[in-house]
Structure 1
Amino acid sequence: MTGEDPRGGRPQRADARRNYQHLLDQAKIAFAEFGADASLDEISRRAGVASGTLYRHFPTRMDLIEAVLADRIGELVNDGRGLLHAEDAVDALFTWLTAAVEHGVTYRGLSAAVMNSALDRGSAVISKWHKDMFDVGAQLLARAQASGAIVADVEAADVLKMVSAIAWAAQGDSAQASRLLTLSMNGLRARPGG
């Protein structure tokens, strides 16, 4: 973090940045455990700050949820960009899709809450997240297709919809999500002479 207020305000003091990060880290854990209705007081307690500190950084529950998702999606996008340089393009694609499915399984309720809120407010945050995820996913898929190991006629939108469907169908069961993704990836592999 550069020291600037994540909401675009004036620069933050070091202790404010630290508190912000502690809150964000604890919110990720609490939302993964309890969903969008996780106790904000418990998040504050776990972060070692007063409730007032949480509300200074995140005036509403939705602000905190959006910050958690923005942080996690940013990590996924950055991880995907790093995988663009991996030697094995198919393994890189599978690694990133696995992380994306796990994110979807873990934060499914948060994503639904943010999407509903964003639609109500006309927010552009969802389209930015989709664009960032689509861009990196498309690049990873193109590399895997160029290697000849993945069928050429699949599109990035298909693969990302598949990831979303797997996360939804798994209903919070990471093992099932992993099995479904493996089956799907096997279906994407090019067959000799095919």
Structure 2
Amino acid sequence: MNAMPDGQRADARRNYARILAVAEKEVAAHGAAASLEQIARTAGVGSATVRRHFPTRRALLEAVSRKRIEALCVRAHELTGRGDSRDALLGWLDNVLTYSVSVRGLAAALAYDDPGSDPVQENACSAALEEAAGPLLHRAAQDGAVATGVTVADLITLIVGIVLATEHHPDPAARADRLFRLAVTGLSPAPHRPR
């Protein structure tokens, strides 16, 4: 998830910054389906210039999502080693869910299966989150709060699926939260305890 290289010409840096600013607005308005051609027109550059800076839609979404992904990584580091390991992990996942619901295009940037991209191309957003949240998950697994074999990639995929499934719901945040809570607690009711 690297920013544009510093070694580029000043006009290329200005174009990059202008394209990114326009892209942030377009993605906020239209999500992952934001038009690259509209971004180019609004930024006052050609489509080839946009594609030179962002060769794939995923690259554009990753650049637009960079600050939010960095904030989620910082949050994972803050929660690591604090309090109950299950609560820390679920708190972080709740942050990922909240960001993904509120920021159009973020779930698409986190998705692992982009049919239009090279399947071996690394998903930089998800890779950054996996690295940051690895210690959270490891601690929860060590404490027996999470089943063995669960990966951060599994959890991100779950969040992405929930967000994409609820994005057109009248209240996507509430619906996504309900589905997340259902996934966390499972389908079975709590065991009956004698009084």
Matched pairs, number: 176
Aligned residue identity for 1:4: P
1:92-148 alpha-carbon deviations (Å, 9 max, x no partner): 4334323433565532556679812213xx55233x5544433333322223445x4
Instruction: Name 1:150's counterpart in structure 2.
Output: 145
Structure-2 separation of matches of 1:110 and 1:139? 22
Instruction: Name 1:85's counterpart in structure 2.
Output: 78
Instruction: Name 1:43's counterpart in structure 2.
Output: 39
Aligned residue identity for 1:183: L
Structure-1 separation of matches of 2:35 and 2:164? 24
**Cα–Cα, structure 1 residues 73 and 93, in superposed 2: closer, same or farther, change >3 Å?**
farther
Aligned residue identity for 2:17: Q
Structure-2 separation of matches of 1:136 and 1:114? 21
The gaps in structure 2 that reach 5 residues or longer are: 191-195
Instruction: Name 1:72's counterpart in structure 2.
Output: 65
**Taking structure 2 as the reference length, what is the TM-score of the superposition?**
0.62
Is 1:182 the equivalent of 2:188?
no
Tell me, what secondary structure is at the counterpart of 1:125?
coil
Instruction: Name 2:193's counterpart in structure 1.
Output: none
Structure-2 separation of matches of 1:11 and 1:92? 41
Instruction: Name 1:162's counterpart in structure 2.
Output: 158
RMSD: 4.0
Structure with a larger share of its residues in helix = 1
Instruction: Name 2:26's counterpart in structure 1.
Output: 30
Structure-1 separation of matches of 2:144 and 2:75? 20
Tell me, what secondary structure is at the counterpart of 1:58?
helix
Instruction: State the 1:170 CA deviation.
Output: 1.8
